[in-house]
Structure 1
Amino acid sequence: MSRVDPFSIDFNALRTLVQVFDSGSFSGAAERLDVNQSTVSYTVERLRKAFQDPLFVRQGAGIAATDRCEEIVSGLREMLDGYQAIATPRGFDPAEASGVVALSCNYYERLVILPDLIKALRRHAPGLAVSVYQAFGAGAAQLKRGESDFLMGPIRFNDSGLFKRRLLSDHYVCVMDRNNPLATRDLDLTSYVSAAHAIVTYGGNWKSNYLLELEKQGIQLNQVLGVPSPADLGSILKGTDLIATLPSRMAASMEQEVVVRPCPCPAPFDIDLVWTSRTHHSPMHMWVRQEIARIAQAVPDVPRPE
């Protein structure tokens, strides 16, 4: 393999390498970069000669990155994010701004924060569009690949190179039909565990804090129903003996349909906002972060049900 001077490689080529690594295919990288696949193939071939490594090898119907490629991409992410920060203009006027803000979050954040964020953007920055991605367990990967600019949720990782800001705190409560025999009294742990539960499974990609705390105690609930989203739980519970455990602010939005009662396993948790160095110094993203934080601070606490 003839050698290409590594210092002749430009930032665009390095970005192509990261995109091939993230998408797992040349065609996927070409689509993300809006170029021909032949352009991606040519760029990767030059990179192979510069780094003296195959970078990607055939694996079944796809490709797999070599160990050397993983090492190179790991170093490139921070370098490319830093360069983008340097290249970002410092002036920012929300009223004149245009672009797309990509946000990874789940149902909770879409219910509690997103509506007021959209109102703020339409009022102060009408040229900004918002693209929302379902986070579940993929939010961190979406953020690191640059698919999203922000991740909102109950974050359970502390990776280096990430910035985090706490937005608000919450806890779990129980919701059930008004005629459920359990609706007239506080649940102790024994009656709670033996009750018939409707559990939000989030498609198997996320597990709620209260379930994790119960597991630590060796306790398993009597799951009668599993649903991938809490969106329709209010109507599902009506007329049944099922109970569900939800964050208090989510439960408060269903109070016209269900009764909200204290949970013997409240499992408090925080909702955080996370971003990378790619957007850390961007005036536009700084402004959006401030708006998200302002909105979160104004979210009222939900009184503990009597």
Structure 2
Amino acid sequence: MRTPSLPPEAAALDFAALELLRVVHDSGSFSAAAERLGVNQSAVSYTMAKLRGCFGDPLFVRQGGRQVATERCQDLLERSGLMLAMLEDMARPEAFDPQGSTRNVAIACNYYERVLLIPRIVAAIRQAAPRMTVTVINALGDGHQRLLSREADVLVGPFAPSEAGFHSRRLYVEEYACLMDPAHPAADGPDLDADGYLALNHVLIQYGPAWRSAYLQEIDAAGHVLTPAITVPSPAGLDTLIAGSDLVATVPRRLGARNAARLVLRDCPFRGQFDLRLGWASHTNASAMHRWLRDLIWQAGRG
């Protein structure tokens, strides 16, 4: 049985053309893609014309000063991304020497991890691989997308993507507690119950529209409503805000414990336990360097 031959246009394609498609998408223009690839803009235009002829689609349309991908292009980007990831895995050497490596590794995380875990992780990397460099980027609420786009090598945080193509490993279990000034009426005495807790003057840390803390989910599930006195976007500076006031913030226990010398940490009736996890994308699963990095972070980050 004969194997069907490819159309002439498809046979002329190569992985470099598919990579160019991704770079144009990420850059937003042909000129920016040419600069990023170190080629003339005419070379980008020529390859794009070849791709358009092959797939029978404009692939990009200009909107608001940017090249915006068509639906057909988005589909091609997803499929070619898998192909390029497989090729990358095939070409990647199996051995990895941390002592001699000069690679940069990117870790996606947020405030909690930057304060509690990143110093330990960076110290472990520098000890084992003194010539490697580290970039820490914000995970925000879409850290798994940063893995997929190759912005980050690993993700550290309370994330457990359920989509195919991702893996994760639990570092430890965390829970929420109440942080308050030592002179606060609730700083001493019996444990807080739900009514007493909800009646406090709360500082709510609103991390973003895509994230709702586990203790708030527990409050919702119990049919209660928490009405904050103050809302802030991050735990940064929380100790200064709370000290000498009647305000109470509900924070992850390990983060709150860093202020034990100045503030009081009490049990919260809505503990909202969650897993702190190490996550990565499937395209790095077999990489020797990434396996080394994940093992090192797991050892350094367990709490």
Among residues 172, 182, 185, which one is paired with 1:181 in the alignment?
A: 185
Which residue does the alignment assign to 2:241?
Answer: 236
Question: Are the equivalent residues in 2 in contact too, given 1:85–1:277 (CA < 8 A)?
Answer: no
Q: 1:261 to 1:145 in 2, by over 3 A?
A: same
Question: Are the equivalent residues in 2 in contact too, given 1:172–1:263 (CA < 8 A)?
Answer: yes
> Is 1:167 aligned to residue 171 of structure 2?
yes
Question: Are the equivalent residues in 1 in contact too, given 2:177–2:265 (CA < 8 A)?
Answer: yes
How far apart are 1:25 and its partner, in Å? 3.9
Among residues 198, 207, 213, which one is paired with 1:202 in the alignment?
A: 207
Which residue does the alignment assign to 1:303?
Answer: none
Which residue does the alignment assign to 1:290?
Answer: 295
How far apart are 1:278 and its partner, in Å? 2.7
**Which ranges in structure 1 are unaligned for 5 or more consecutive residues?**
300-306
Question: Are the equivalent residues in 2 in contact too, given 1:30–1:37 (CA < 8 A)?
Answer: yes
Q: 1:16 to 1:212 in 2, by over 3 A?
A: farther
> Is 1:213 aligned to residue 218 of structure 2?
yes
Note the 1:73-92 alignment, pairs <5 A.
73-92=77-96
> Is 1:57 aligned to residue 61 of structure 2?
yes
SS at match of 1:223: coil
Note the 1:121-140 alignment, pairs <5 A.
121-140=125-144
Question: Are the equivalent residues in 1 in contact too, given 2:120–2:301 (CA < 8 A)?
Answer: no
Distance in 2 between residues matched to 1:82 and 1:150, nearest whole Å: 18
Among residues 116, 122, 135, which one is paired with 2:120 in the alignment?
A: 116
Question: Are the equivalent residues in 2 in contact too, given 1:82–1:277 (CA < 8 A)?
Answer: no
Larger Rg: 2
Give the structure-1-normalised TM-score. 0.90
SS at match of 1:157: coil
Q: Deviations over 1:12-62 (max 9, x none)?
A: 221121233344444554455455554433332221112121111223333
How far apart are 1:215 and its partner, in Å? 2.2
Q: 1:272 to 1:22 in 2, by over 3 A?
A: farther
Cα RMSD between the aligned structures?
A: 1.9
SS at match of 2:137: strand
Which amino acid letter does the alignment assign opposite residue 259 of structure 2? M
- How many corresponding residue pairs? 296
Distance in 1 between residues matched to 2:174 and 2:180, nearest whole Å: 19
Q: Deviations over 1:107-126 (max 9, x none)?
A: 11112221111111111101
Which residue does the alignment assign to 1:144?
Answer: 148
Which amino acid letter does the alignment assign opposite residue 7 of structure 1? A
Note the 1:246-261 alignment, pairs <5 A.
246-261=251-266
Note the 1:19-38 alignment, pairs <5 A.
19-27=23-31, 29-30=33-34, 32-33=36-37, 35-38=39-42
Q: Deviations over 1:152-184 (max 9, x none)?
A: 111153111112212211111110011011111
Which residue does the alignment assign to 1:96?
Answer: 100
